[in-house]
Amino acid sequence: MEAIVDRLVPPDSLSIGGREAGCAVYIDRQLAGSYGSSSRLYTQGPFMKGLPTQGYQGKETPSELYRRGLAALDIYVRRANNGKPLQDLPPAQQDEFLAALEAGQIDLPDGVVGKDFFGFVLNNTMEGFFADPVYGGNKDMASWRMLGFPGARYDYRDFVSRHNETYPLPPVSILGASDWASK
Protein backbone atom coordinates (compact mmCIF):
# COMPACT_ATOMS: atom_id res chain seq x y z
CA MET A 1 0.00 0.00 0.00
CA GLU A 2 2.80 2.43 0.80
CA ALA A 3 4.29 2.00 -2.67
CA ILE A 4 0.90 2.65 -4.25
CA VAL A 5 0.02 5.74 -2.19
CA ASP A 6 3.47 7.20 -2.84
CA ARG A 7 2.96 6.87 -6.60
CA LEU A 8 -0.58 8.32 -6.43
CA VAL A 9 0.67 11.25 -4.31
CA PRO A 10 4.36 11.53 -5.13
CA PRO A 11 6.53 13.78 -3.02
CA ASP A 12 7.51 17.00 -4.77
CA SER A 13 8.58 20.56 -4.02
CA LEU A 14 5.05 21.43 -2.83
CA SER A 15 4.42 18.65 -0.34
CA ILE A 16 5.36 15.31 1.13
CA GLY A 17 4.20 12.14 -0.63
CA GLY A 18 1.42 9.74 0.25
CA ARG A 19 3.68 7.41 2.23
CA GLU A 20 5.11 10.10 4.48
CA ALA A 21 1.70 11.77 4.82
CA GLY A 22 0.32 8.53 6.29
CA CYS A 23 -2.21 7.68 3.58
CA ALA A 24 -1.67 3.93 4.11
CA VAL A 25 -2.15 4.38 7.87
CA TYR A 26 -5.39 6.28 7.18
CA ILE A 27 -6.65 3.49 4.91
CA ASP A 28 -5.71 0.81 7.43
CA ARG A 29 -7.58 2.60 10.21
CA GLN A 30 -10.65 3.07 8.03
CA LEU A 31 -10.67 -0.60 7.06
CA ALA A 32 -10.46 -1.59 10.73
CA GLY A 33 -13.56 0.48 11.57
CA SER A 34 -17.16 0.78 10.47
CA TYR A 35 -16.20 1.76 6.90
CA GLY A 36 -14.20 -1.44 6.45
CA SER A 37 -17.02 -3.65 7.68
CA SER A 38 -19.80 -1.68 5.94
CA SER A 39 -21.60 -1.68 9.29
CA ARG A 40 -23.45 1.54 8.46
CA LEU A 41 -24.53 0.56 4.96
CA TYR A 42 -27.26 -1.59 3.53
CA THR A 43 -25.44 -4.64 2.21
CA GLN A 44 -28.20 -7.06 1.29
CA GLY A 45 -28.87 -8.09 -2.30
CA PRO A 46 -29.74 -7.97 -5.04
CA PHE A 47 -26.28 -6.98 -6.24
CA MET A 48 -26.08 -5.48 -9.70
CA LYS A 49 -23.42 -3.43 -11.40
CA GLY A 50 -24.30 0.18 -10.77
CA LEU A 51 -23.91 3.17 -13.02
CA PRO A 52 -20.53 4.93 -12.82
CA THR A 53 -22.19 7.68 -10.77
CA GLN A 54 -23.48 5.18 -8.21
CA GLY A 55 -20.15 3.80 -7.07
CA TYR A 56 -19.56 0.34 -5.71
CA GLN A 57 -22.64 -1.90 -5.54
CA GLY A 58 -21.15 -5.24 -4.50
CA LYS A 59 -21.48 -7.70 -1.66
CA GLU A 60 -17.93 -7.51 -0.30
CA THR A 61 -17.04 -5.06 2.44
CA PRO A 62 -14.20 -2.60 1.76
CA SER A 63 -11.93 -4.71 4.02
CA GLU A 64 -12.69 -7.81 1.98
CA LEU A 65 -12.17 -5.90 -1.27
CA TYR A 66 -8.76 -4.66 -0.13
CA ARG A 67 -7.62 -8.11 1.06
CA ARG A 68 -8.63 -9.75 -2.19
CA GLY A 69 -7.49 -6.84 -4.37
CA LEU A 70 -4.04 -6.49 -2.81
CA ALA A 71 -3.46 -10.24 -2.98
CA ALA A 72 -4.50 -10.31 -6.65
CA LEU A 73 -2.38 -7.25 -7.42
CA ASP A 74 0.66 -8.86 -5.79
CA ILE A 75 0.19 -12.11 -7.74
CA TYR A 76 -0.17 -10.22 -11.03
CA VAL A 77 2.86 -7.97 -10.50
CA ARG A 78 5.11 -10.81 -9.34
CA ARG A 79 4.13 -12.98 -12.31
CA ALA A 80 4.83 -10.15 -14.73
CA ASN A 81 8.14 -9.12 -13.12
CA ASN A 82 10.11 -12.28 -12.30
CA GLY A 83 8.85 -12.48 -8.73
CA LYS A 84 9.43 -8.82 -7.86
CA PRO A 85 6.71 -7.10 -5.81
CA LEU A 86 5.41 -3.68 -6.81
CA GLN A 87 7.51 -1.82 -4.22
CA ASP A 88 10.73 -3.23 -5.74
CA LEU A 89 9.96 -1.97 -9.25
CA PRO A 90 11.36 1.36 -10.49
CA PRO A 91 8.95 4.29 -10.03
CA ALA A 92 8.34 4.60 -13.79
CA GLN A 93 7.34 0.94 -13.98
CA GLN A 94 5.06 1.33 -10.94
CA ASP A 95 3.41 4.31 -12.64
CA GLU A 96 2.97 2.35 -15.86
CA PHE A 97 1.30 -0.50 -14.01
CA LEU A 98 -1.03 1.81 -12.04
CA ALA A 99 -1.98 3.75 -15.20
CA ALA A 100 -2.89 0.50 -16.97
CA LEU A 101 -4.86 -0.62 -13.91
CA GLU A 102 -6.74 2.69 -13.85
CA ALA A 103 -7.48 2.47 -17.58
CA GLY A 104 -8.99 -1.00 -17.18
CA GLN A 105 -6.26 -2.63 -19.26
CA ILE A 106 -5.36 -5.14 -16.55
CA ASP A 107 -7.53 -7.94 -15.27
CA LEU A 108 -6.23 -9.10 -11.92
CA PRO A 109 -6.51 -12.74 -10.79
CA ASP A 110 -9.37 -14.02 -8.63
CA GLY A 111 -11.96 -12.02 -10.56
CA VAL A 112 -10.76 -8.67 -9.21
CA VAL A 113 -11.68 -5.89 -11.62
CA GLY A 114 -8.50 -3.82 -11.74
CA LYS A 115 -10.18 -0.55 -12.65
CA ASP A 116 -12.68 -0.83 -9.80
CA PHE A 117 -9.99 -1.73 -7.27
CA PHE A 118 -7.83 1.17 -8.46
CA GLY A 119 -10.79 3.52 -7.96
CA PHE A 120 -11.20 2.37 -4.36
CA VAL A 121 -7.52 2.84 -3.62
CA LEU A 122 -7.36 6.24 -5.32
CA ASN A 123 -10.39 7.59 -3.45
CA ASN A 124 -9.14 6.34 -0.10
CA THR A 125 -5.65 7.71 -0.79
CA MET A 126 -7.08 11.16 -1.53
CA GLU A 127 -9.15 10.99 1.65
CA GLY A 128 -6.03 10.10 3.62
CA PHE A 129 -4.04 12.95 2.10
CA PHE A 130 -6.68 15.62 2.70
CA ALA A 131 -8.51 14.41 5.85
CA ASP A 132 -7.94 15.76 9.31
CA PRO A 133 -4.75 14.25 10.78
CA VAL A 134 -6.77 12.77 13.65
CA TYR A 135 -7.69 9.95 11.24
CA GLY A 136 -4.09 8.92 10.54
CA GLY A 137 -3.18 10.72 7.32
CA ASN A 138 -2.24 14.28 6.35
CA LYS A 139 0.79 14.22 8.66
CA ASP A 140 1.52 17.64 10.14
CA MET A 141 -1.38 18.95 8.03
CA ALA A 142 0.94 18.92 5.01
CA SER A 143 -1.81 19.03 2.39
CA TRP A 144 -3.63 21.79 4.24
CA ARG A 145 -0.44 23.84 4.46
CA MET A 146 0.15 23.26 0.75
CA LEU A 147 -3.36 24.53 -0.10
CA GLY A 148 -3.55 27.27 2.53
CA PHE A 149 -6.59 25.59 4.11
CA PRO A 150 -7.24 26.76 7.70
CA GLY A 151 -8.51 23.36 8.85
CA ALA A 152 -10.92 23.13 11.77
CA ARG A 153 -10.27 26.70 12.86
CA TYR A 154 -13.18 28.21 14.78
CA ASP A 155 -13.61 31.38 12.78
CA TYR A 156 -12.03 32.66 9.60
CA ARG A 157 -14.99 34.59 8.16
CA ASP A 158 -12.90 37.73 7.76
CA PHE A 159 -10.81 35.93 5.14
CA VAL A 160 -13.54 34.13 3.13
CA SER A 161 -14.03 36.97 0.65
CA ARG A 162 -10.34 37.92 0.43
CA HIS A 163 -9.40 36.08 -2.73
CA ASN A 164 -5.81 35.43 -3.86
CA GLU A 165 -4.43 36.23 -0.40
CA THR A 166 -2.48 33.78 1.68
CA TYR A 167 -4.23 32.90 4.92
CA PRO A 168 -1.84 34.13 7.63
CA LEU A 169 -2.43 31.47 10.32
CA PRO A 170 -1.38 27.81 10.28
CA PRO A 171 -4.07 25.13 9.96
CA VAL A 172 -5.70 23.57 13.01
CA SER A 173 -6.74 19.93 13.41
CA ILE A 174 -9.91 18.76 15.13
CA LEU A 175 -7.61 18.08 18.09
CA GLY A 176 -6.26 21.64 17.98
CA ALA A 177 -2.95 23.14 16.93
CA SER A 178 0.25 21.20 17.57
CA ASP A 179 1.67 24.06 19.64
CA TRP A 180 -1.32 24.14 22.01
CA ALA A 181 -0.05 21.14 23.98
CA SER A 182 3.21 22.89 24.84
CA LYS A 183 1.51 25.96 26.33
Helix (H, G, I), strand (E, B) or coil at 86: helix
pLDDT at 183: 45
67 vs 30, 46, 72, 73, 78, CA distance in Å?
Answer: 14, 23, 9, 10, 17
Q: Give me the pLDDT at residue 178, please.
A: 60
Q: What pLDDT shows up at residue 182?
A: 47
Same domain membership, residue 172 and residue 119:
no
Full domain range(s) for residue 156:
149-183
Regarding whether 107 and 169 lie in a shared domain, the answer is no
- Given this model, what pLDDT does residue 91 score? 96
The count of structural domains within the chain is 2
Whether 109 and 167 share a structural domain: no
Rounded Cα gap, residues 5 and 2, in angstroms? 5
Backbone angles phi, psi at 56, to 5 degrees: -65, 135
Name the nearest CA neighbour of 134 among 25, 3, 15: 25
Domain identity same for 181 and 158: yes
pLDDT at 177: 66
Question: In angstroms, rounded to a whole number, what is the distance separating the alpha carbons of residues 1 and 40?
Answer: 25
CA 42 and chain centroid, separation: 23
Same domain, 110 and 176: no
pTM over 0.85: yes
What's the average pLDDT block by block, 10 residues per block, for the chain (183 residues)?
A: 97 96 97 92 79 79 96 98 97 97 95 93 97 95 92 84 87 77 48
65 with 101: CB under 8 angstroms? no
